Chains A and B, each alone.
Chain A
Amino acid sequence: MNFNRIGVGVAFSPNLKANIYEAARLSLFMGSELMLIHVGKEDAKKTQIINGHLSEFEKQKLSYKIIFVNGRPVEAILNAIQENKINLMVLGALKQESFFKYYLGSIAREITRKAKCSVLLLINPSIKRVPCKHIVVNGLKDPKTEETIKSAFFIGKKLSASKITIVEEIAQEEINIKVDDDRSLRESTIIRERLRLREKKRVKKLIKSVPNEQLEGVGINSQPIFGQRGYSIGHYAQVVRADLLVMNAPSKVSFWDKLFPNDIEYILEDLPTDVLIIR
């Protein structure tokens, strides 16, 4: 697990201060170096503003660096991530008017898809700290899941979260019996129960790989849910009012995935809460 360098994009928007505060706080919690990436010409005035926002964190010994890059925003930021060996990129989401709905801007979306590092999407960056109490993490049957769960516990420890719920999504297709009448209903109920237990067992095994000291002081839950893979976990996080959702990175994003969104694309379209995508 390594989040030595945390990156944050700096655009001079109304959210600037909140974004910087969130990223700086996170860097302090994780003991990481903060890289502030701005797409544009280097400018003393801009540096001054950023320094001003970070003055409070400097007292707490935050080490940070401001990087100015040029070019098309997406490529420039992606390059900066690679060049500076950033492990975690923090991106802010936008809020839809009138409804409590959050979505990613097009730049943030591109970066999320293409970045080679982990990405943290914040739905509601705030200057004052909102404690992260409940983390929801996916327990998909996938080679990446072990790493993701480990990361969730690692971060949970750093942010002193009190509860981590591991969610296994059981797809309808797995219960490959159609409910038509009483008998098929009984059969499908039994199969569902068996799947539930199987999934719980699998998750238990996964938790064993987490270092013991990270398990201390954290309530661990495992919750099998029935719904569409990749989508329902966000829905679940929203229902239980989780503070952070940790997910596997998608395997690959093809043209079809954009057209018929699945997995991460669903989440990007309608962010339920803060989302951390582990790569």
Chain B
Amino acid sequence: MKKRQNISTALKSIPRNLFSGLVVSLIALPLSLGLAMACDAPPISGVIASIAGGMLVSVFGGSFVTISGPGKGLVGVILIAVSTLGLNATYAAIICSGILLLILGFLRLGKLSDYFPSSAIQGVLAAIGLIILGKQFHIMLANKIAKENTIEYLVAVPKTIITALNYSDTGLKYAALAGVISLLIMVFYSKIRNRYLQLVPAPMWIVILSLSYSYYYEFVLGLSNPISKKYMIPEIPNIQKIITDLPVPDFGLISSSAFWISVVALTLIASIESLLSIKAVDRLDPMKRRSNVNKDIKALGLSTVFSGFLGGLNVVAVIAPSSVNISNGGSNRFSNFSHAVFLTLFIVLFSTELERIPLSALMAILVYTGYKLASPEIIRRMFLIGKEQLIIFLVTLFVTLKVGLISGIVAGVFTTFIIHVFINKSFQLFFKNILKPNVLMYKENDENYFISVKHFSSFLNFRNLKNKLDVIPEKNSVVIDFSLCAFVDHTVMENISSYQALFNKKGGSIDVIGFDVFGADTLDPFALKNLIPISGLMKNNAGKRKKDFEALASNLKMKYTPKNNTATDHLTGFSYFITKQISHTYNLLSSNESNCCLFDISYSEGVSIAKENIRSTMMYIQTKKIIPQFTLTKEGYLERFYSLTGEKDIDIPGYENFSKRFYLNGKNPKKILELFDEKIIHFFENNEYYHVESDGAALLVFSKERVATVKEIEKLLTFGLYLTGLVDKK
């Protein structure tokens, strides 16, 4: 029955996905052509990769709305492979990297990028952006030059601009103009909010305008296209030719190291780019599904092998077409499939027409893509997170540009590690604890998960934490406690934040606690945090919690005072604190109307014994009348006080269940029995367990011996206020 229903919804979604596939093919076509040309490969090879990916990944893949095709990240690698190995050997390398991807998928290692510091990955991507931008910028302005490396290409940019301004050749002039107009379209397209205009993606507008321009010259004016032939897309073969001229992959270099360096780099980048795309797309998916990354990697590997044999490039999950897919209503893998079908149709029907597109226009699309990967905004962002992230980013960037991609990643990982050691002034912290299973998870009650992380948490051992987070259904609440952790790095913070987004979307939540003793250099939520016992660092900490409290205060119209307050005499009367020493309260939320306040409190257990400091969140409410002293707790807490005070559990006649669940004691049982009437008992029975105490004039309410999360604070406030209402009515 359920299956039939699935089929019927799938059938109903076909038209929408077909349409979405069409729109996606419109953006995929120019991108595929452009990327292939940027790789110095035949333009058609990019389209072949898109078709192979669309056909195979839609059948065997594990994601839902991602689109597969040639990736921009691969440009840097294939470009080098083509120049060192030659085209046919590059196809062989592509096939090998497909096989390697398949193996990674089967070994469940598809999520390679989870093991690299995120700033290093950003650095590699930015380097690739510069590689694309540096080379294609000159072609965009119709000034094809040949240089040794990307840095030289970048240095030559001003010269190209000057050259372009002084063109005397009309062919070149028009070509450069086409490039500039295309670039302007790319830049301003997203700023124009028009539904019909937006229906066709910007790259396709460039194609449409180029084609109509060319037709206009040919059929209306009867002239030949003024743009120089050199800057038009060269010979796109028709379908018969593509089939008869299948390239033969050349495995002759299989024993050379250059070949395998290319294979490994291709695989690494394919895996990283795919994972980043899948992750980002999953967050956009309106149906909130979780992609099976390893299954997808396997499918991508398989289609890469096919693509390589057919003379196509590597296949990866691509972000831009995927997001176009989602915004056009794509809801399942059929849109990926139909995009491949449409691309095939384009090639079969109009392949030779594509030669009417100016090369410079196509390259403008790539220049824009490259710029997006390496925009100054990314550098600014890195700087805001922390200077050390900027260093990692820049080192990775430069090594990638100067030496190569694999060296770049290795340098990034190495720099990150050195910086971590330097910040912590300890190599031991990492060396001793790296292999330890440092993450503990348990269910606090039926809904809440509690995760505690020990020692340190960085890109080196993030998988421990990730493995735990992955098995929690996203509709649950999770508390991650870092208070036993000496160091948490940026990669972990960033990943947690993306998990938070995912959980929030599905109705759950992740709260991170234990940072209020940490020092961080910036207030950025992604900044790395380390626990160094220097008092000076303690001043600018607790950024997140402070912000949370400020938000709470303004929501609830309460006053917020973050300062430490050591005047805690009003609390010492509570029997809970008999054996404890209060250090100070902080993060005070107070309200005048209801005589109540809520605060974080730091205290230590036991006297003169170096037990750990405890931090908790408590609510203090002054009652209007004098009430009897009492302590009410859950059965679990009870025996502590039992043994200390020698007092007995007060049973309330007629409420056996209540008496069983709660431990109630106090000095004056008679008065207490008077206070606990039906209403109050029902209130307690129907709410979560809290520790409630009265010292005669005020109530103290809290739930756990740890700092409460925002959600818990809200619950605590409601509980406390309602309870006071009931007590005051007596």
Contacts from A to B (Cβ < 8 Å): 98-100, 124, 126, 128, 130-131, 133, 160, 162-163, 172, 175, 178-182, 184-186, 188-189, 192, 196, 217-219, 221, 223-228, 231-232, 235-236, 238-239, 241, 260, 266, 269
Contacts and interface: CB of A to CB of B under 8 A. Distances in A.
Given A181-B292, A219-B638, A231-B437, A241 B614 contact: yes
Given A162-B643, A217-B642, 15 more contacts: A126-B609, A162-B640, A179-B470, A180-B62, A181-B291, A181-B295, A185-B473, A186-B473, A228-B437, A231-B436, A232-B437, A235-B454, A236-B452, A241-B605, A241-B614
B438 to A, nearest CB: 8
A221 B432 CA distance: 33
29 contacts: A99-B486, A100-B610, A124-B610, A128-B609, A133-B640, A162-B643, A163-B639, A179-B470, A181-B289, A181-B290, A181-B291, A185-B470, A189-B471, A189-B473, A196-B443, A219-B639, A224-B442, A225-B442, A226-B471, A227-B440, A228-B437, A231-B437, A232-B440, A235-B438, A235-B440, A236-B452, A238-B484, A239-B440, A241-B612
B434 to A, nearest CB: 12
A78 to B, nearest CB: 28
A188 B471 contact: yes
Given A181-B62, A227-B437, A266-B436, A239 B289 contact: no
Interface in B561-584: none
Contacts of A239: 440, 450, 452, 481, 484
B468 A226 contact: yes
A266 B440 CA distance: 14
Nearest to A231: B437
Contact of A221 (B289, B435, B467, B636): B636
Q: Which 9 residue pairs are nearest across A and B when measured between Cβ atoms?
A: A162-B639, A228-B437, A180-B292, A225-B442, A181-B292, A235-B440, A226-B441, A239-B452, A227-B440
Given A181-B290, A189-B473, A260 B435 contact: yes
Contacts of B470: 179, 185
B531 to A, nearest CB: 9
A207 to B, nearest CB: 16
B525 interface: no
Most-contacted residue by chain B among A98, A178, A196 (CB, 10 A): A178
Nearest to A236: B440
A165 B614 CA distance: 20
Contacts of B295: 180-181
B293 interface: yes
Contacts of A225: 440-442
Contacts, number: 107
B274 to A, nearest CB: 15
Nearest to A189: B473
Contacts of A224: 442-443
A65 B639 CA distance: 36
A268 to B, nearest CB: 13
Nearest to B531: A99
Nearest to B289: A182
Contacts of A221: 636
A128 B293 CA distance: 57
B439 interface: yes
A131 B644 CA distance: 10
Interface string B602-616: 000110111110100
A178 B108 CA distance: 9
Contacts of A179: 470-471
A224 B443 CA distance: 8
Given A180-B295, A227-B440, A241-B605, A100 B612 contact: yes
Interface string B420-437: 000000000000100111
B639 A218 contact: yes
A263 to B, nearest CB: 12
B705 interface: yes
Contacts of A172: 467
Nearest to A126: B609
A245 to B, nearest CB: 14
Contacts of A181: 62, 289-292, 295
Contact of B439 (A131, A188, A227): A227
Contacts of A238: 454, 484
Given A180-B62, A180-B293, A239-B484, A163 B442 contact: no
Contacts of B612: 100, 241
B93 to A, nearest CB: 29
A185 B290 CA distance: 9
B136 interface: no
Nearest to A232: B440
B471 to A, nearest CB: 5
Contacts of A178: 108
Contacts of B481: 239
B725 interface: no
Contact of B471 (A130, A182, A185, A231): A185
B353 interface: no
B635 interface: yes
Contacts of B473: 185-186, 189
A180 B473 CA distance: 12
Nearest to A161: B639
Contacts of A218: 639
Nearest to B291: A181
Nearest to B608: A128
B294 interface: yes
Contacts of A100: 610, 612
B723 to A, nearest CB: 24
Contacts of A189: 471, 473
A134 to B, nearest CB: 8
B182 to A, nearest CB: 40
B635 A130 contact: no
A105 to B, nearest CB: 16
Contacts of A124: 609-610
Nearest to A133: B640
A63 B17 CA distance: 86
A160 B643 CA distance: 8
B533 interface: yes
Nearest to A163: B639
Contact of A235 (B291, B452, B614, B705): B452
A191 to B, nearest CB: 10
Given A100-B612, A189-B473, A239-B484, A180 B440 contact: no
